[in-house]
């Protein structure tokens, strides 16, 4: 025990400072170890897919090499049927003999199931700490025709999308804001006085012809539908307005990803979002049209490039109908004429756990017929929060780099092919480096 008298106060002060410094180092060390452990757990979490799909009737390897183990069982667990037969490196377990199987993802596993079913895998870190629940779904094996052709897109919204609200100067010189805080960007106006709106132009006429009478608008906001009352007011020109900016359609150029045996298609690999609100557009109907790429703006660091296409929206140029606009892409059906012009051979799909780092190809058209271009898969995120960015890739093909500078707008939906399998579609470009970008796993497009 240190003595702190008058003579030894200076030495005692140094001792106290040394003890505080030592305590600080201990806290810093514990904090650093905790932070590293949390980061390590996050990496382990992202290496384990939240959902795993396997093909019925085919043995498939799963090699995640993570320190988790747990139980695999048919959902719900009380069913009398067995779980998926699981084999390790040296042993096999017959699922007919047990309802629940032990699994250890630190070792390679082989999964096998005959029937289309859903199973559950409850996992624990180090076999002790509850960690993650994985949905295991058995699906039919599937072959698709990779397309890679440019498409012209036109979609009509279900109702009218509000992209902004504001005030205007009324006929009395005062600021007017009829909707005030009633409407907000991202709202859809579905009906006026109980009647469905027929489009942007018709809605604007209804407002102008209201003579300032109260209107009842049916609004869709975040999947909730409700009515509200508004009263248009006159602007300086004597026209009745609500003080909103609206949109009822969108158009652009993209790439067709795949076609199946029934002429059903998937494209883009991401949804069509409104350019102002960034929300997924609520689709009423839409069409695909033939398009011709007429110019290419090369991508540069900080500036994305673009494929510019000419689209003639006449009936004879219509390729098919768009039936769904989802986070995973746009989906619908091609007509027979358009489908007959896609001559690439069908190929099997590659599931996310089968995607490897290294060489791959993308199929796209930057003028003329679709061609294969070399890319490199640089990272695979089996459980990425953003499903449109499960695959990271880099363009390595010299011809494509010379032509486009890398990934450009309009290439979204370009099929990604590896080892003779369709594994995904290009979705985004990294703006700071157009040679790099992202893709979605094909299974996510198929299971939307």
User: How far is the C-alpha of 410 from the C-alpha of 431, rounded, in Å?
Assistant: 14
Q: Please, what is the Cα angle at 319 between 315 and 323, to 5 degrees? A: 105
What spatial distance separates the first Cα and last Cα of the chain, rounded to whole Å? 71
Q: Please, what is the Cα angle at 434 between 432 and 436, to 5 degrees? A: 95
Q: Is 397 a catalytic residue?
A: yes
Q: Is 414 a catalytic residue?
A: no
Residues 6+ apart with CB under 8 A from 218: 189, 190, 191, 192, 194, 225, 226, 227
Cβ neighbour number for residue 430 with a 10 Å cutoff: 17
In eight-state DSSP terms, residue 335 is -
User: How far is the C-alpha of 385 from the C-alpha of 362, rounded, in Å?
Assistant: 24
The C-alpha torsion from 54 through 60 and 66 to 72, rounded to 10°, is 60
**Residue 103, strand partner residues:** 70
Q: Is 341 a catalytic residue?
A: no
Pairing of strands 92-93, 86-87: antiparallel
Residues 6+ apart with CB under 8 A from 286: 153, 154, 155, 156, 321, 322, 325, 330, 332
Cβ neighbour number for residue 148 with a 10 Å cutoff: 26
Cβ neighbour number for residue 114 with a 10 Å cutoff: 11
In eight-state DSSP terms, residue 328 is T
Of 270, 381, 384, 428, catalytic? 270
Element (DSSP H or E) covering residue 252: strand 244-259
Of 69, 287, 365, 412, catalytic? 412
Of 187, 248, 397, 428, catalytic? 397
Edge to edge, what strands does the sheet with 86-87 contain?
A: 60-62, 109-111, 86-87, 92-93
Catalytic residues: 270, 397, 412
């Amino acid at each position: 025990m240190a003595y702190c008298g008058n003579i030894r106060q200076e030495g005692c002060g140094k001792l106290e400072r040394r003890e505080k410094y030592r305590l600080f180092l201990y806290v810093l060390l514990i904090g650093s170890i905790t932070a590293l452990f949390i980061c390590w757990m996050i990496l382990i979490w992202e290496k384990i897919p939240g959902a795993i799909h396997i093909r019925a009737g085919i043995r498939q390897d799963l090699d995640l090499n993570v320190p988790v183990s747990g139980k695999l069982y048919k959902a719900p667990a009380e069913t009398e049927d067995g779980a998926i037969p699981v084999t390790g490196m040296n042993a096999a377990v017959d699922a007919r003999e047990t309802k629940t199987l032990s699994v250890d993802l630190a070792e390679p596993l082989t999964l096998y199931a005959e029937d289309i079913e859903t199973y559950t895998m409850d996992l624990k870190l180090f076999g002790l700490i509850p960690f993650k629940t994985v949905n295991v779904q058995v699906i039919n094996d599937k072959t698709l025709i990779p397309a890679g052709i440019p498409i012209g897109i036109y979609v009509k919204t279900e109702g009218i999308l509000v992209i902004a609200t504001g005030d205007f100067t009324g006929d009395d010189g005062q600021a007017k804001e009829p909707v005030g805080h009633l409407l907000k960007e991202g709202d859809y106006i579905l009906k006026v006085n109980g009647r469905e709106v027929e489009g942007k132009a018709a809605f604007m006429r209804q407002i102008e012809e209201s003579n300032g009478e109260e209107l009842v608008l049916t609004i869709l906001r975040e999947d909730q539908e409700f009515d509200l009352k508004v009263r248009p007011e006159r602007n300086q020109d004597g026209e009745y307005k609500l003080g909103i900016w609206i949109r009822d359609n969108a158009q652009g150029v993209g790439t067709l990803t795949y076609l199946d045996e029934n002429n059903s298609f998937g494209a883009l690999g991401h949804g069509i979002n409104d350019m102002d609100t960034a929300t997924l557009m609520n689709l009423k109907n839409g069409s695909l049209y033939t398009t011709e790429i007429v110019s290419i703006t090369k991508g540069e660091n900080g500036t994305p490039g673009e494929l510019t296409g000419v689209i003639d929206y006449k009936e004879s140029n219509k390729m098919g109908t768009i039936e769904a606009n989802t986070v995973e892409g746009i989906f619908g059906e091609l007509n027979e004429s358009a489908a007959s012009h896609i001559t690439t051979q069908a190929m099997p799909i590659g599931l996310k756990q089968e995607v490897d780092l290294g060489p791959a190809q993308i199929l796209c058209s930057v003028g003329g017929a679709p061609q294969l271009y070399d890319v490199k898969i640089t990272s695979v995120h089996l459980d990425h929060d953003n499903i449109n960015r499960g695959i990271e890739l880099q363009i390595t093909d010299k011809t494509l780099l010379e032509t486009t500078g890398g990934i450009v707008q309009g290439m979204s939906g370009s099929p990604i092919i590896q080892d003779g399998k369709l594994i995904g579609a290009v979705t985004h470009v990294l703006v700071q480096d157009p040679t790099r970008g992202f893709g979605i796993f094909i299974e996510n497009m198929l299971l939307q």
